[in-house]
Amino acid sequence: METNCYQPNGQPPISCTDKPITAQIQIDGTSAAEYPPPRRLRTDEISQVVNDFRIAAKNAIEAVADEIGAEKVGIRLSPYADYNDSGDSNPEALGLYMAESLNKYGILYCHVIEPRMVTQFEKHETICSLLPMRKAFKGTFIVAGGYNREEGNVVIASGSADLVAFGRLFLANPDLPWRFEINAKLNKYDRNSFYTHDPVVGYTDYPFLEPDT
């Protein structure tokens, strides 16, 4: 997903299809970027490009680990994501490949988005699971994607993950760990305020619990 200006000689970007992405991407909140139709890869090119992406991810991890130490490096993966028409044809195999490959580096953690969150950031029923990745990765395994307090406790107790990450709930509840600890009511998040250019609205304007709660 890019424009011709980033390609050699202004040629179209490559893709698995010649169909342009369906969405326009906001740049500064007032304008949008148009993306040109990409060049569809030939069948004989696909395997090499897929392997190039895998190698690129591993090279990035290796470079950062060499610089600051693997014990300070983590990675977040979304093999099941289909945002902006980016869905993979075999996300389970892709995720498993990455999980197994990461063991070589001894990084701090692998943070993975649940398959149920693949479409427009909402929960969907799916038979897909992160369990194969969990079993393959030897380090700390973090899951995220639509969890609440109860579901988080269940997934940790079952051994399906070491940690659960929270995004939207943490944005709306700056004291989320305390609310979880005392099982307090949560603030509701406002999705319309996500990913805006305002430094306050939707980010630092949600209330804390009252001291006497």
* Ordered structural domains, the chain, with CATH: 42-165 (3.40.50)
| pLDDT score of 1 | 58
Question: What parts of the chain have a pLDDT lower than 70?
Answer: 1-4, 6, 22-33, 45-53, 83-87, 118-122, 213
CA distance 207 to 178: 13
CA distance 98 to 136: 9
| pLDDT score of 138 | 96
| pLDDT score of 111 | 98
